Amino acid sequence: MSETSSSGTTKISTFVLMIVLIVLALSLVALALAVNAFILGEEIVAGYLLVIGFIAMSLSVYVLLQSRRRVMSMKSVNPSMMTTIECRKCGFKSVREFQRGDYVFKELDKCQKCDDKMIVTAIYKEVKEKEKAFPF
Ligand SMILES: [Zn+2]
């Protein structure tokens, strides 16, 4: 059951999103109060509220970007199903992405080199290596 873990992470990200939206709303309130204080002539109070508003806003944007990046990296780790196709006559081999209905020893279209039928010889999961695996 891999579905339970993925729904669990979605629940966490919606929780984070809620907190981020609340902080964002509070920062907007702080900025509005800063403008109000500035109009009233209390420049020191306005300055404090302005700083608080900007810190809260940048913090919420940072968390939002960070959680989004995590979701994107999780998607790239997902392995993709691959199907190996082989010609029985000349041994021509090709690999393509798994298509619905593929099974081992299934007869497919004609070979590109000779006119004999090609068959599926293997179906496997391909785990993509991380692009930054090399230290160079
Ligand atoms: Zn062939």
Q: Reduced to 3 states, what is the DSSP secondary structure of residue 38? A: helix
How many Å lie between the centroid of ligand 1 and the Cα of residue 89?
Answer: 5
Give the residues of the chain that fall short of pLDDT 70.
1-12, 71-78, 128-136
Q: Give the integer Cα–Cα distance in Å for 75 and 65.
A: 16
The rounded Å distance from CA 60 to ligand 1 centre is: 59
User: For position 73, what pLDDT does the model report?
Assistant: 66
Distance 124 CA to ligand 1 centre (A): 22
CA of residue 90 to ligand 1 center, whole Å: 4
Where helices occur in 1-136 by DSSP H, the ranges are 3-40, 43-77
As given in the structure block, the two tokens for residue 106 are 């299934």
Of the candidates 61, 62, 114, the one whose C-alpha atom is nearest the C-alpha of residue 86 is 114
Query: What per-residue confidence (pLDDT) applies to 76?
Result: 59
pLDDT value at residue 3 = 47
Taking the model in full, what pTM does it have? 0.44
Percent over 70 (pLDDT), the chain: 79
- Residue 39's pLDDT is 92
**What is the radius of gyration, based on Cα positions, of the chain?**
28
